[in-house]
Structure 1
Amino acid sequence: MPLPVIGDAASGYTVAVEPGQLPFAVARVYWTYGTPADVLRGHHAHRTLEQLLVAVKGRLDVTLENSAGEQQKFTLERPDVGLYLPGLYWRTIRFHEQAVLLCLVSQPYSEASYIRDYAAFRDLAKAPDTL
């Protein structure tokens, strides 16, 4: 998802996200940095929480998997492009040298929103009414 950019090469760039530009209202913002190169993070899904992931610095390789086992791979390496994640996608994120991941999130933090057990996540395809 391209993000709006203001500025030029002479003075620099700003990315600003205004209300209504995302498919959800932002309730929380966080970023992850200082992760050693080639470390895998994520290893979870959310039931209903939505996110926009942005590599504000460096490169991130993101693997998404739905509960039916279908995988998609994305590379984030531009601060003006975000990856939208609806609920129920298992994510694994490989950090590269000095990468910084910015997350815009639809809900305040709640441990109950996480699905951290991969087998339980895959079981959702068999019993979708348990959401």
Structure 2
Amino acid sequence: MQNEIRFIELPKIKDLRGNLSFLEDNRHIPFEIERVYWIYDVPGGEERGGHAYKNTAEFIIPLTGGFKVEVNRGEDYFEYDLTQTNKGLYLPPMTWRKISGFLSSSVCLVVTDTKFKDCVYLRDFMEYIENFNKKSNGQY
């Protein structure tokens, strides 16, 4: 299940004073947290991402607003709308992703299992497909 794209619902503690959600590594997400970053103030019509990580798993959460995550696993294409602040999207390594359709005032939180300096990016889609196919055929 660690190689599957999937939604993960986080705990939601309801309270009249406001709700609270949280996540813990190896409990709610299937990896140890090495890096956390967030994307915000994205101008209308702009996209983020457009790459894959060879060696990095991600968990993407909309802290406010919402956005669309477009993903490829090889040549299979999927779209996910993220609008619930206690529900995120798990992406295993070798998943091409692009984040778009940001609603006004959206904040996108990304949690990963590698530090920035250890991430191996694939920024060319055809190179990604070639690497994905090699990995799928055990040549990687």
Alignment TM-score > 0.5, same fold: yes
Q: Aligned in 2, Cα 1:7/1:26: closer, same or farther, shift over 3 Å?
A: same
The equivalent residue for 1:71 is 77
Using the alignment, how far apart are the partners of 1:101 and 1:26 within structure 2?
16
Tell whether 2:60 aligns with 1:53.
yes
Q: Secondary structure at the match of 1:124?
A: helix
Tell me the percent identity: 27
Between 112-121 and 73-82, report the one with greater CA deviation: 112-121
2:90 paired residue among 84, 89, 109: 84
In the alignment, is the contact (CA less than 8 A) between 2:71 and 2:95 conserved in 1? yes
Q: Which runs of 4 or more aligned residues in structure 1 lie more than 6 Å from their structure 2 counterparts after TM superposition? A: none
In the alignment, is the contact (CA less than 8 A) between 1:124 and 1:130 conserved in 2? no
2:23 paired residue among 17, 21, 25: 17
> C-alpha displacement at 1:97, in angstroms?
1.7
The equivalent residue for 1:121 is 128
1:73 counterpart letter in structure 2: E
What is the RMSD computed on CA atoms of the aligned residues?
Answer: 1.6
What is the TM-score of this pair, normalised by structure 2? 0.85
Using the alignment, how far apart are the partners of 1:112 and 1:16 within structure 2?
25
Aligned residues: 129
Tell whether 2:101 aligns with 1:105.
no
1:42 paired residue among 46, 49, 69: 49
Q: Aligned in 2, Cα 1:12/1:92: closer, same or farther, shift over 3 Å?
A: same
After superposition, the C-alpha distances for 1:13-50 in whole angstroms (9 at most, x for unaligned) are 11111232210011111111000122111100001201
Using the alignment, how far apart are the partners of 1:126 and 1:79 within structure 2?
34
Q: Secondary structure at the match of 1:87?
A: coil
In the alignment, is the contact (CA less than 8 A) between 2:66 and 2:81 conserved in 1? yes
In the alignment, is the contact (CA less than 8 A) between 2:38 and 2:107 conserved in 1? yes
What is the TM-score of this pair, normalised by structure 1? 0.90
In the alignment, is the contact (CA less than 8 A) between 2:62 and 2:85 conserved in 1? yes
Residue segments in structure 1 that go unaligned for 5+ positions in a row: none
